[in-house]
A = this chain, B = another copy of it.
């Protein structure tokens, strides 16, 4: 199935991905990972929950860590342009017979939660508490100096269908991998905010969250994080990289949090604001699409991901999971 023509006048205006809520089993360990090691900033915390923002963000949170019995991804959050867009979004999802529930979320204005057709829990809002800028408080820059949340990547059982749906709500595909033989999409990267992606879909047993990514200033910040993690007890949490992706051209590193949630550290992709930007097509047989420099990803990277709350898969589902690439 070919990449669909971009929906230039979508039914509602999503500004960007905004935040993710992750369920974690040990808040203290998670704090040590996200705050002390990665360098995210705490904006609120209780015994049950920690709210974090990155250094150039003014919204209250990009990650919510919530204590729970098992590690899961609770929902992916998106910011829409204004309240009319929010209502249009709710109407759109409702019109597709997808669940729409208006919820109270601390630090957020009107918010509704829903699921996309593959079952991924989403939430939409237009207003979140704004905090004073800290991007010039350089004493706060620690760890990998995370500047902002950049994107989500999810395992999808049917990437063609996932892309068709997100295309309809305004995401534009920038790069994709096609299986030349079947003509089916193997993976696709789609954006709202003007980078390579706000969300990507990768073939695999799903829906599961493959990773959440943070933008950092330079590759040297990533090298610093590797040095720090490998000498402070986090060696086993380094999963893949550093390297350059063929797709997106970004310099990357993948690390795992204490519950196995995967975080990508990411920089230097490119600007994609032109509505006539042609998507770049990659062949599934080209290994440089994954790592421009040729080094293969480890097996865990292809197989493991975070379950979404309420979208649990059976063990046999997971066992049946295809390998994403040769």
Q: List residues of A whose CB falls within 8 A of some B CB.
A: 8, 15-16, 56, 58-59, 79, 81-82, 127, 130, 133, 135-139, 141, 147-148, 193-194, 217-220, 223-224, 226-232, 235-236, 238, 242, 244, 246, 249, 251, 268, 270-271, 273-278, 280, 288, 292-294
Interface centre among A246, A292, A293, by most B CB within 10 Å? A293
The answer to whether B139 and A232 touch across the interface, beta carbons within 8 angstroms, is: yes
**Taking the nearest CB of chain B, how far is it from the CB of A135, in angstroms?**
6
**Taking the nearest CB of chain B, how far is it from the CB of A196, in angstroms?**
11
Beyond contacts A135-B270, A223-B244, A231-B292: 16 other A-B pairs, Cβ-Cβ < 8 A, are A15-B274, A15-B275, A58-B274, A58-B277, A58-B278, A135-B249, A136-B292, A138-B224, A138-B232, A139-B228, A148-B271, A193-B194, A217-B218, A218-B218, A227-B244, A227-B292
CB neighbours of A15 from chain B (8 A): 273-275
How many copies are assembled? 4
CB neighbours of A133 from chain B (8 A): 280
The complex places the Cα of A243 from the Cα of B158 at a distance, in Å, of 36
* CB within 8 Å for A294 and B218 given contacts A81-B275, A274-B59: no
The answer to whether A231 and B139 touch across the interface, beta carbons within 8 angstroms, is: yes
The answer to whether B273 and A16 touch across the interface, beta carbons within 8 angstroms, is: yes
The complex places the Cα of A93 from the Cα of B310 at a distance, in Å, of 53
CB neighbours of A8 from chain B (8 A): 81-82
